[in-house]
Structure 1
Amino acid sequence: MENPNNRMVAAGRLESMPTFSHEVMHEPFYAGTLLIKRLSGALDKIPVTIPGKILPPEGDPSGKLMLFQGQVRSYNKVVDGAGRLMVTLFVQSMYETSENETLNKVSLTGALCKPPIYRSTPFGREICDMMLAVNRAFGKSDYIPCIAWGRNAQYAARFHVGDRLRLTGRLQSREYQKLLENGEYLTRNAYEVSAFTLEAPDAAPDFSTTPIDARLEFERLHAQNAAENAPAQK
C-alpha cells in the first residue's frame, strides 16, 4: 500500500537467497540482507522483508543488481531475553537494473516520539539522534531511528516530542560494541536513517524551515579535517 509518509528506493544485491520468515493471512514472507554500495565503496547491510508473491519466479535473485522500492518498517523482537527494535526495508516491488548501484534514498514524515539527543564526537562532529514515529495504515506506526549531522544536528536539537519532521536520507548500517555485565564486548548492528535534508512542515514562523543539505556539511567537514591534518610546510 502506498504511503506518502514513508518511501524508500534502493539499488543493491541480495547477499543470499531470502529465507522463509513468517506467514500472514496465508501469504508467506521472506527475510534477507540487501547489500547497498556507498560512493566510498563501503557496504550497508540492510535487512529486507519480501512478500513471496513478488519474488522473481525464475529462481534465486541473489547477487544480481536489483532495484527495490518499499518502506522502512520496524517491529519489536525478543533477543537474548530483551526486547529490541528491529528495522527492515519492507519491499513492495523489485526488478533487475543495470544503473545507479549506489542509489539509497529514504523519504520520511513523522513525529518525534523521544527527545532528540544532541552530542559531539571526540573529533568535533555534531550529531543529533532522533526517533521518528511514522504512521501507516490501520492505525499502526513505525518507529525509525534517525541521525542528523552538522547544522542539521543543531536544527534537530531544537525540537520536542510530538513535533513533526520531514526528512530525506539513506538507510544505513553500522557496527557498535555493547559492554556486557561480565566485562566483555558484544558486536551488534544498528540500522538508522542518516538525514541529508531536514525540515519542519508545522514549525512556528520564527523557525527556519529551509532544508539543510548535509552533503554540503560533509564536504565542509572533510575540507576542514584535511586542512587540520595537512603536514606543515617547510
Structure 2
Amino acid sequence: MTDKVFDNNQVSIAGEVMTDFEFSHDVFGEGFYLLDVSVSRLSNSYDIIPIMVSERLVDVKADLKGKYVEVNGQFRSYNRHEDNKNRLVLSVFAREFKVCIEDLDAARPNYIFLDGFVCKQPIYRKTPLGREIADILLAVNRPYGKSDYIPCICWGRNARFAENFTVGGHIQVWGRIQSREYQKKVSENDYERRVAYEVSVSKLEYLEEY
C-alpha cells in the first residue's frame, strides 16, 4: 500500500471465508460484492468482518467458503437509509485480495491504521467492573472530497487520554477491527440481532487542531 492517497487508511486482515459473494452495487459497469471473513483473535475468539470486493479482483461466482484469504485495503463507511433513519454501514474495501491454498499463519491477521479528525466529542465511561472506555468517531478523508466515519474504542490509559480530545483534533490510531453482536429493539416485544463494527485501539497519537 504505497500509494500516498491511501496512506491515511490502511487495513490488512487474514482469515476464513464464511459466506458466498453477495451483490452490493455497481459503479460504471464494475460490480462490487460483499462476503464475510472470520478473523481469529489471540483469545481464541474471532471477529466476523465484511469485505467489499470488485468482480475485477476475484471470481465472484467461485465458492470460497472455508478457504483462507488475505485482504489489504481500507475501512470504509456509508449511510444507509432505513426506518426513517440513517444507519452507518462499515466494511473493508479490498484493494488486494488473495486466496490462500491452505490455512495461514499471518504475523498480523487483523491490523488497521487510521489518520483522521475527531468529529464528535469522545464519550468516556466505566464498566460496572471499573474498566475505562472511551468512544471516538473518527473522520478519515478520502479522495474527491469524501470521508469515512469510523467508530473507535479506547481502553485504560488511552481512554483517559482520549476523553480530553476536542472536535476537530487530528489523531492517528493503530489497532484491529472488531465485531460485536447486540439486540436492537424494533417493537414493543421484538428484538433484532445486529452486528456493530469498530476499531479497538491499541495505540493512538494526538497531533494537532484544525
**% of aligned pairs identical?**
43
Number of matched pairs: 203
Is 2:183 aligned against 1:177? Answer: yes
Counterpart among 25, 37, 40 of residue 37 in structure 1: 40
Contact preservation (8 Å) 1:36, 1:102: no
The 1:38/1:164 distance shift into structure 2, 3 A limit, reads same
Counterpart among 54, 63, 66 of residue 63 in structure 1: 66
Contact preservation (8 Å) 2:169, 2:207: no
Larger radius of gyration: 1
- Partner Cα distance (2:79, 2:26) in 1: 17
Contact preservation (8 Å) 2:21, 2:60: no
- Partner Cα distance (1:12, 1:3) in 2: 23
Larger strand proportion, structure 1 or 2?
2
Equivalent AA in structure 2 for residue 36 of structure 1: V
- Partner Cα distance (1:21, 1:188) in 2: 18
- Partner Cα distance (1:101, 1:20) in 2: 31
Q: CA deviation at 1:166?
A: 0.2
Task: Pick 1 or 2: higher relative contact order, CA cutoff 8 A, min separation 6.
Answer: 2
TM-score normalised over the length of structure 1: 0.81
Task: Flag structure 2 segments of 5+ consecutive residues without an equivalent.
Answer: none
TM-score normalised over the length of structure 2: 0.90
The 1:36/1:101 distance shift into structure 2, 3 A limit, reads farther
The 1:44/1:119 distance shift into structure 2, 3 A limit, reads same
**RMSD of Structure 2 on Structure 1 (CA):** 1.9
* Residue aligning to 1:26: 29
Q: CA deviation at 1:159?
A: 0.5
Is 2:54 aligned against 1:48? Answer: no
Partner deviation per Cα, 1:149-193 (whole Å, 9 max, x = no partner): 000000011111000110100111001233445154433211000
User: Stretches of 4+ moved more than 4 A in 1?
Assistant: none
Larger helix proportion, structure 1 or 2?
1
